[in-house]
With several copies, the nearest count.
Chain A
C-alpha cells in the first residue's frame, strides 16, 4: 500500500544525512567531550560544529545555544529556569501554548507564581493589545509561541515584540520565551532582532533525531539549570553530551538552512498545503478549515499545518480510516491525543460539538510531494463519503 505521512508536526522522518551523522558519531566520535584525550576532543568538536550550524540558523552566536534532551526540556528550562528576581511573581502565557509551556506554568503556579493566560481569537491568534493590558509591574516572564502546533496559527511576533519593548523602555525587567518548535525550519527565526530572550527548538520536528532540542539564551540572561551536575553546556544542562543526537541535529539544521535560503522551497511547501486544503474543502460538503485562512498573503497562516473539521464524523474514526488507506494524520496535537479528547486549542478558539469532535490535523514537510497531496485529498474525500454513508 502507498504510504503518505502527513503527521510531520508530531514528528518527522530523519533525513539520510542525519542518520549518517548519528552513526558516525556513535562509531567514530564515541568519546566523552569532557575527556581530555583525543577521543574526547573529537567528540567535543562534533558538538561544536553542530552548535555553530544550529546557531547560524537562528542568527545567533554559538555560545548562546544550550543543547537539551528535547523540545519539552528546552521549554521547561526556559519557563522554570528564569529567576523571578526580587519583585517578579507574575507570568503571562496564552491559551494555545503546547502542554510543555502550560504545564510548566502550572508548576510555577504551585510555587505561588500567578499566571495570566491570554485568550485567542477564532483563528487561534493572540491580540497584542491583550498582552499590553495583562503586563504588570511584577510580570517577569512572557511565554508566547511562534507557530501553534495544532492549527498553524502564526502569532504576531513583531507586534508582541513592540509591546514588550515598550514595557521594557518603561524600565521594567521582563524575559520573553518563544516556543518556536513548530516554526523552526519553516519560518525565519530572528530572536535577537525581536528582543526574544529565550527560544526553544526541537530537532525531531525538522527531520533531526528525537531526544535533542536546543534553547537559545540571550546574552546576560540568568537561568537556573533543570539538570545540575558536571557543568556541561555552560552549566545550564549537565550530563554527558548526547553527541550523536547533537551531531544529527546539526546535520538537520544544515539541510533546513539550505531549504530556508531557497525561497522556492517555502513557496512550494505553502502551495502543497493550499492544494490540500482547497482540494478537501471543495469536495467535502461541510468541511471547515480551523485557524487562519490559507492565503499566501496571510502572515498568520503557517505553510505546513492544516486543521480541518469534518462535522458528523469523529476525528479518531476518520484518522483510522485514513490509516487504512496509508495516510497518517493526527487529531489535535500528538501529545494531547491520549487524555484530552477535546483539544484545548480548538476549545480556546471557540469550537464546540461536531466541529470539535471531527477535527483532523494534516501537517506537511519539505519531503511531501504534489502526488502525495493528491492521493491524500482523493482518499480523504472517499473516506469521508464512506463513513458518512455508514453514519447516514
Chain B
C-alpha cells in the first residue's frame, strides 16, 4: 500500500559543510539498492530523503533496511490534498502500525496525531487537523484512545505543497555512514564466520570494500572458492558490488610447510598474506586492511602475534571484531546472511595445515629467522602474477 518512504539519516546530518556530499552519496546508494525493485524516485526534501516507489513495500523496505547511513524509514502514503483521502489514509496507516504492535487484551491502543502544515495555503491549521483526523480514527477503529504524551502509535501527517504525506510506522535503519564516504579498504576474506562480519562492520562506517582471498588449489577445491564468492554476493546486499582478488597461495603454503618450523607456520603464513594484501591495496588505492581477527588465545589472535604479523606492512589494519564475543559475531553473521554460507565445511587455506602446537607468543626475531629459507620476493611476485580479479555483482 505504501508508495513513499521518508528516510531519516541522523549522523550524516551533523557533518557541516560535508553534508551535501554525504547526502548525494546516500541518495546514490539508495537508488542503486532499489534498482532491482523497479522505477524509484529519490529526492531530498527538508532534511529528509524522500523515496517514491510503487513496488511491493516489503521488498522496498528490505532493500532500504540494508543501506548504511539510514537511521529510520517511515513508510508513507502520498495523497492528494483532500480531507477525506487524508482521513482514510490515516486510518490505513494506523491499522498497519497496529498490526506490528503486541496488544494486551482489555487495554486500549494509544495513539496521537501529529499534523504539520508547511503549506500554509491549506485551509486547516495543524491543531484543527489533529482534531479532525483524531476524531475520524476514534470513530472508525474500536478500542483506541488518545495519549498525547506517550502514545504507542504516532500518526504523522505532513501537509506539503502538492501532497499530504501520512506515516505511522517508523522502522529502524541500519545506521552508520553511506558506503564510499570513508574511502576504500581491502578485506582479507577467508571462508570463516568472522571476516565477512568484519567487512560488514567496515562498510557500516562508510568504507568501500574490496576483498582478497587466498586460495590453495588443488588442496582446496572450487567449492571453497564458490563459497567465498557467495559470501561476497551476500555482502553486496549492502553495497553495489565487490571486487574479489583471488590470490594463488598454494606455492607459498607449500614452501612454508617445507621450510619453516611447525610452530611458526601460521605466523609466517599471515605475514605473507599481509605482504600480498599490502601490494594489492597499493594497486587498488585502498588505504587500510580489514581483518576478522579478534583478541583471544588462539594462534594468530594474541597481541604478540598481531604485532609480529603487522610488522611486515605499514598500512593501518582495522580489526572491527576486537570488541566482540564469539556469540555476538555469530548473531551478526546470521543477521546479515553470511552465517549459513560460512558454516559450509569446505576446507580453506587456513584450515589446511593446522599445526598441532602453534606459537601463541612469537617474537619478531624468531619470525625473521624462520622466514630466511623463503625467497619472499619471488613468492610474492609469483602469487600476484596468478591473482585473478572477479567482479561480484548483486544478483536480482
Contact = CB atoms under 8 A, between A and B. Distances in A.
Q: In the complex, are there CB atoms of A and B closer than 8 Å?
A: yes
A233 interface: no
- Interface bracket on A: 35 or more
A169 interface: yes
Nearest to B218: A324
B99 A169 contact: yes
A324 B216 CA distance: 12
B347 A41 contact: no
Interface stretch (A90-98, A121-129, A254-262, A314-322): A314-322
Nearest to B221: A320
B352 A171 contact: no
B321 to A, nearest CB: 24
Contacts of A37: 221
A324 B221 CA distance: 9
Interface string B212-225: 00000111111100
Contacts of B182: none
Interface string B122-154: 000000000000000000000000000000000
Given A169-B95, A390-B254, A390-B257, A320 B219 contact: yes
Interface string B248-273: 00000010011000100000000000
Contact of A319 (B62, B96, B221, B344): B221
A197 to B, nearest CB: 11
Interface string A154-194: 00000000000100111100000000000000000000111
B347 A317 contact: yes
Contacts of A17: none
Nearest to B37: A192
A25 B99 CA distance: 49
Given A56-B396, A314-B347, A323-B221, A390 B56 contact: no
Contacts of A392: 257, 262
B53 to A, nearest CB: 11
B396 A320 contact: no
A340 B223 CA distance: 15
Nearest to B257: A390
Interface in B213-243: 217-223, 226
Contacts of A391: 257, 353
B56 A41 contact: no
Interface string A302-325: 000000000000101101110110
B92 interface: yes
Given A61-B396, A165-B1, A338-B344, A219 B62 contact: yes
Contacts of B17: none
Contacts of B357: none
A170 B343 CA distance: 39
B264 to A, nearest CB: 14
- Interface bracket on B: 20 to 34
B55 interface: yes
B218 A321 contact: yes
A38 B62 CA distance: 36
B95 A170 contact: yes
A36 B221 contact: yes
A281 B97 CA distance: 54
Contacts of A387: 219
Interface in B53-81: 55-56, 58-59, 62
A284 B98 CA distance: 60
A81 interface: no
B396 A55 contact: yes
Nearest to B344: A338
B56 A169 contact: no
A320 B99 contact: no
A387 B219 CA distance: 9
Contacts of B28: none
A320 B56 contact: no
A15 to B, nearest CB: 24
B219 A321 contact: yes
B222 A169 contact: no
B373 interface: no
B372 interface: no
Interface in B333-358: 343-347, 352-353
18 contacts: A41-B221, A169-B92, A169-B99, A170-B99, A192-B58, A195-B56, A195-B58, A317-B219, A317-B220, A319-B221, A320-B221, A320-B347, A324-B218, A337-B345, A389-B258, A391-B257, A391-B353, A392-B262
Given A314-B352, A390-B254, 8 more contacts: A61-B395, A170-B95, A192-B56, A192-B58, A195-B58, A316-B221, A320-B221, A323-B221
Interface of B: 1, 55-56, 58-59, 62, 92, 95-96, 98-99, 217-223, 226, 254, 257-258, 262, 343-347, 352-353, 395-396
Across the A-B interface, the 3 shortest Cβ-Cβ residue pairs: A324-B218, A171-B99, A41-B222
